[in-house]
Amino acid sequence: MEKFSFAFFSLATLVFIATVNRSEADSSVIDLGGEWSFASSNKTITGTGKSDKFTVASKRTVPGDIYTDLFNNKIIDDPLYGDNHLFTTWISSDDWSYSRRFNFDMQQLNKASAFLITEGLDTIAAVSLNGKQIAQSSNQFVSSFADITKLLQDQNTIQVDFKSPVQYAAQMASAYKTSSGHDVPPVCPPSIQHGDCHPNFLRKAQYSFSWDWGPSFPTIGISQPIRIAVVESVYFRDFTWTTQLDGNFWNVNVETLVLNQNENSEVVWIISIDELGVEMEFVRKIREGTQMTTHQMQVKGKRQVNIYLSNQRRNGIVEMTKKIGFKTVDLVQDYVDPNKVSLGRDFYFRINGVPIFLKGSNWIPISMFPLTGNYTDRLRFLLDSAAEVGMNALRVWGGGLYETEEFYNYASTKGILIWQDLMFACALYPTNKEFLDSVQTEMQQQIWRLRKHASILVYAGNNENEIAIRDHWWSVSNYSEAQEVSDYVALYADTISPIVRQSDPSRPFLLSSPSNGIQTEM
């Protein structure tokens, strides 16, 4: 870990640059966006998805789903109109596949390897290339990275096969009941919602099985960008950071996600602030494989630094820039009166030492199909509206989705703080090894992504699951309250909490929202 110290007193531009030998630097990204074909399991329904939902070049991550594609192909009526949702239940009970063909210049592999990157598949999916399975998904919130070098040809077919989320959830619930001796509540939503059962057995947006504010649309599809990275030596995928105040200095820990194809590649890292004439350079050899590299520096003062992301490569240089904001967050939970503990505790936040009164609302997904259509316009209208009426905080609700980079960036520009629920809501969850392992990966990836955003105020483990146990929302045979508490602790206190606290020590973590805060953890 390299440590750098420098001071500045005004707004500046910080640029993060990595340089390798030109002969080793070449890498390219092939967008697999465009037109995909889809089909039901028995091939009786087929069509194409032509919209920009698969397009990476637009710089917008606009997910696709089977409902939108069926509507665009005039196979179903608008699912959001009237009671049409009652006539689309067959969709999520079927298996579906998406496929496309693409050409590949095999000369690119003379000195390089190729990797398939999927940023998100919704949800139970298997990916194959030229008939060979290369990746699987069981978590909508997790990305994957697969070596496809030996499978590529001049002409290729990639296919993603999706299982019915409704059928899969029912199978998982049945198997879990057989092994544990009990159901995991709630088994099904209230009948008035016309929803589907057992969403808590899927790492998928929980609202998609219905909620008290929306119908059931258990989506299926390629929900995030999918692409191929051709890597000769070093591929820089992304970077993130945490900031912590130490006296008069900010400690900034930057982590880069790097894939190295060679046994030992020499990388020159450059951090510069042009306005101050400051440039720092250091050299590192990185080992073979996918890895994180960590760099620590100190910045004097309490001002904002800008890092701009350009993704430009020239003369062996990869330049990444993003915006960064510096703030401390303290959650105050002292006794109102230490001599009268019966009065309870405070519960408020201090930002950079200043007590903040939070004024805000809950943020649920913009739509049942939130990232289709005019997502940017709707996002900005809603955040602009929140700011205009005096809100300074929004809670990203735990039954929905981890929001987009665009959401968190725009919230930062509007001065809106984000109470970030993790995606668990109004349910208890299985605690078998397979489920907990998937949650661990989800937490590692999502907190790594989220922690760089200045808008993030606090993390909370779930929506209302703590109060559900305390107020006895459910009565389940062979599942005592003591066992409910034990499973709750296994998921949130023993699995999620250590990852969140270690990945982002700069922000508080609460087991639930709402919560008794520190009292719950005693």
Mean pLDDT of 315-330: 76
What DSSP designation does 479 have?
-
pTM: 0.89
> Comparing 364 with 28, which gets the higher pLDDT?
364
What DSSP designation does 496 have?
I
The answer on pLDDT for 90 being more than 90 is: yes
Percentages helix, strand, coil for the chain (3-state, rounded to 5) are 25, 35, 40
- Residue of 181, 216, 180, 212 lying closest to 198 (CA atoms): 216
pLDDT at 16: 55
pLDDT at 19: 62
Grade residue 10 by pLDDT with cuts at 50, 70 and 90: very low
**β-sheet with 144-147: strand ranges across:** 27-31, 226-231, 113-118, 144-147
Q: How many CB atoms lie within 10 A of CB 242?
A: 17
Our measurement of the distance from residue 144's CA atom to the centroid of its chain's CA atoms, rounded to an integer in Å, reads 12
pLDDT at 518: 85
- The average confidence (pLDDT) of the chain is 85
User: 36-40 and 329-332 as β-strands: parallel, antiparallel, unpaired?
Assistant: unpaired
Residue that has been written with the tokens 């000195």 in this structure: 111
| Contact assessment for residue 227 and residue 32, using Cβ atoms and an 8 Å cutoff | yes
What are the sequence ranges of the domains in the chain?
2-22+233-324, 28-166+218-229, 329-521
Mean pLDDT of 359-367: 96
Question: Looking at the domain 28-166+218-229, which fold is it?
Answer: Jelly Rolls (2.60.120)
244: left (phi over 0), alpha (psi -120 to 50) or beta: beta
Round to whole Å and give the CA distance between 277 and 156: 50
- Share above pLDDT 70 across residues of the chain, in percent, rounded to a whole number: 81
Residues 6+ away with beta carbon under 8 Å from 502 = none
CA distances (Å), 118 to each of 114, 124, 139, 198, 227, in order? 13, 13, 12, 26, 7
The answer on pLDDT for 481 being more than 90 is: yes
Q: Which tens digits make up the pLDDT trace of 419-458?
A: 999 999 999 999 999 999 999 999 999 999 999 999 999 9
Strand partners, 235: 259
Q: Which amino acid is at 144?
A: S
Grade residue 55 by pLDDT with cuts at 50, 70 and 90: very low
The answer on pLDDT for 463 being more than 60 is: yes
Mean pLDDT of 333-338: 95
Q: Which tens digits make up the pLDDT trace of 171-224?
A: 999 999 999 999 999 999 999 999 999 999 999 999 999 999 999 999 999 999
- Share above pLDDT 90 across residues of the chain, in percent, rounded to a whole number: 65
- Residue of 251, 242, 248, 255 lying closest to 297 (CA atoms): 251
- Residue of 88, 117, 102, 108 lying closest to 36 (CA atoms): 102
pLDDT at 164: 98
> Comparing 378 with 517, which gets the higher pLDDT?
378
Residues 6+ away with beta carbon under 8 Å from 494 = none
Q: 187: exposed, middle or buried (C-beta count within 10 Å: 0-12, 13-18, 19+)?
A: middle
Q: Report the catalytic residues.
A: 464
Round to whole Å and give the CA distance between 101 and 120: 20
56: left (phi over 0), alpha (psi -120 to 50) or beta: alpha
Give DSSP secondary structure letters for 216-281: -----EE-S-EEEEEESSEEEEEEEEEEEEETTEEEEEEEEEEEEEEEEEEEEEEEEEGGGTEEEE
pLDDT at 522: 67
| Contact assessment for residue 299 and residue 7, using Cβ atoms and an 8 Å cutoff | yes
What DSSP designation does 200 have?
G
Round to whole Å and give the CA distance between 435 and 422: 15
The answer on pLDDT for 22 being more than 60 is: no
Mean pLDDT of 293-311: 47
Q: Which tens digits make up the pLDDT trace of 239-286?
A: 888 888 888 777 777 787 878 777 667 777 666 555 445 566 666 676
Mean pLDDT of 367-389: 91
Q: Which tens digits make up the pLDDT trace of 105-157?
A: 999 998 889 999 999 999 999 999 999 999 999 999 999 999 999 999 999 99
What stretches of 347-432 show up as alpha helix (H) in DSSP? 375-388, 405-413
Round to whole Å and give the CA distance between 162 and 64: 13
Sign of CA dihedral 376, 382, 383, 388: positive
- CB under 8 A, 24+ apart: contacts of 437-441: 438/138, 438/139, 438/142, 438/203, 439/203, 439/491, 439/495, 439/496, 440/495, 440/499, 441/139, 441/142
The CATH code belonging to domain 329-521 is 3.20.20.80
CA distances (Å), 74 to each of 48, 98, 226, 369, 478, in order? 11, 18, 25, 17, 48
Q: How many CB atoms lie within 10 A of CB 385?
A: 10
